[in-house]
Amino acid sequence: MQLHRSIHDKMIGGICSGIGETIGVAPLYIRLLFLVLSVYAGSTFWLYLLLWVILPVLDAPAVDYKRFYRNPHDKMIAGVCSGLAPIFSTDATVIRLVFIGFGILGGASVWIYLVLWLFSPLDPS
């Protein structure tokens, strides 16, 4: 499949969902990668705009990814860690410890947590 912009699961221009469809990764992970790179590299905004102009829109069939939802039942703050636990096949406590560890070491885990909290939906079930 060629690199394209997608009309399915798009938030702004369909760049991240198109890249996700092309390489078989959920668009959330591509969006997080763009976010982290924009914080550390700073030039991903221009890359995103360039891809928006260059890449063709392709109406490929929607891909059913394992979606990330915040867990409203097993939450400490917002349910982000308990929502990530099934994706990584681990316990939510391990994910919480990783976030705390990276936060203590000066990483961007607080910002990543806040972004996941603000831009991810609650589990509908």
State the pLDDT at residue 64.
63
Any idea where the domains of the chain sit in the sequence?
5-58, 66-125
Cut 0.75: pTM above it: no
Would you say residue 9 has pLDDT above 80? Answer: no
Write the pLDDT tens digit of every residue in 57-89: 877 666 666 677 788 888 888 888 888 888 777
- φ and ψ at 104, to 5 degrees? -70, -35
Torsion of Cα atoms, 102 then 84 then 11 then 18, to 10°: 100
- The residue assigned the tokens 């938030």 is 11
